[in-house]
Amino acid sequence: MEPLDQELDAAELELPTEPMLLNVGPAHPAMHGTVRIVMELSGEIIERCDVQVGYLHRGFEKMCERGTWTQVFPYVDRCNYVSPMLNNVGFALAGEKMLGITVPERCQWYRMILGEMARISDHLTCDGAMAMELGAFTPFLWMIKCREMVWEVMEEETGARMTHSFGRIGGMAAPPTDGFKDHVRAVVKHIMQVLDEVERLLLGNRIFLDRLENVGVISAEDAISLGWTGPCLRAAGVPYDVRKAHPYLKYGEVEFDVPVGSTSDSFDRFMVRIAEMRQSARIIEQCLERMPNKGPVNVDDPRIILPPKEEVYSTIEGTIQHFKIVMEGLKLPAGEVYSYTEAGNGELGFYLVSDGSGTPFRVRIRPPCFLVTAGLERVITGQMMADVVPSFGSLNMIGGECDR
């Protein structure tokens, strides 16, 4: 019997296909609830896509223009809700840059320790969620358990598990507690053990590696042009870290390395985060050694810092001081400033415009996530549909920061 297709040429053997439109999100579990991707698929390959954000636009910048400078802190907390302390410190530093003051040494170390703890919690969440989205549930549980320990430290220090509102322009809301150093040491030690276990669990797993390696590749030039910063840029081999390039607080005095990736794929981004947690632990260790146990935490300036409660209730000066700061707000001098720190996802910038009154004229946050998410389109175009989840997960999009 002769074959049926003998008169057909090769082109006719192919099935005619039409591009298919597929909508993922915003209520898709892997899209973190706030991103929608409209994809045009040819088979399983993404030909074109449109990333739509804004499903968590809460009007952060408008809300900031309604209160005092101190009242911005709670909103800043909720921008990056995985590492709120870094945002707190970033905003406080912006305000301090505008006032031209430097906080006491003890406060700087304190801020660094809390900030690095927040960075660890951020990376734990990102890597854990990424593993969970690929089906590895155990590392997620372990890492969330670790994050719980970080939050316990935070709760003991600040009173809140995740939205601390603990930073103040000119200091912190409270000095460190007595058992702070021991507690942090114990927690960090445990987290490093869990990290080793997680690595052993994941890095020997063929499925996990296959789904991440050479997936979501972006060139360093593209990443720079797109304004990527933080772990995503470092995974592309660009060693840009604000803590190293423009040291703030005491980062110039501690030793740490900036881990960089080589292939700029999702796996590199995963590993850069793991490595950064180890570096954070290194920084914390040095900070704990060098942080003085005694000494002031807040700057000694009654125009900036609220007086202690005993003074407010017992002296007239204290009452007036308190009243002026609370009712009129802290007055930043007229002008503008751009201050930048390294947050969990990259360069977190604050562009503040003040008109000299107690109310912010404009608070602009430069969200690292927003620009990283802007690159998602370039990362996933030309890839398989199934690779969207690891690629997106490795970018660590935080809705509150991306959409504000």
Q: Which of residues 357-376 bind another protein (CB under 8 A)?
A: 361-362, 364, 366, 370-371, 374-375
The only residue of 337, 343, 388, 397 in contact with another protein, by rule CB under 8 A:
337
The only residue of 62, 185, 200, 303 in contact with another protein, by rule CB under 8 A:
62
Number of residues that bind another protein (CB under 8 A): 85
308 binds another protein (CB under 8 A): yes
CA distance 300 to 298: 6
Tell me which residues in 81-110 interact with another protein (CB under 8 A): 81-82, 97-98, 100
CA distance 388 to 273: 19
| 3-state secondary structure at position 133 | helix
- For the record, the structure tokens of 187 come out as 């927690």
Q: Which is nearer to another protein, 213 or 302 (CB)?
A: 302
CA distance 110 to 311: 25
Please report how close the Cβ of residue 178 comes to another protein at its closest, in angstroms: 5
Residue whose pair of structure tokens reads 């604000």 in the numeric block: 242
What distances in angstroms separate CA 87 from CA 7, 45, 112, 292, 343, one per listed residue? 69, 38, 12, 24, 7
Peptide bond preceding 26 in cis form (omega within 30 of 0): yes
247 binds another protein (CB under 8 A): no
Please report how close the Cβ of residue 400 comes to another protein at its closest, in angstroms: 6
Of 231, 226, 277, 273, whose CA–CA distance to 256 is shortest?
Answer: 277
The only residue of 280, 298, 345, 354 in contact with another protein, by rule CB under 8 A:
298
The only residue of 297, 325, 330, 369 in contact with another protein, by rule CB under 8 A:
297
Tell me which H or E stretch contains 171. Answer: strand 171-172
295 binds another protein (CB under 8 A): no
Q: Which is nearer to another protein, 243 or 366 (CB)?
A: 366
Of 390, 352, 345, whose CA–CA distance to 371 is shortest?
Answer: 345
Q: Which is nearer to another protein, 108 or 125 (CB)?
A: 125
Tell me which residues in 376-395 interact with another protein (CB under 8 A): 378
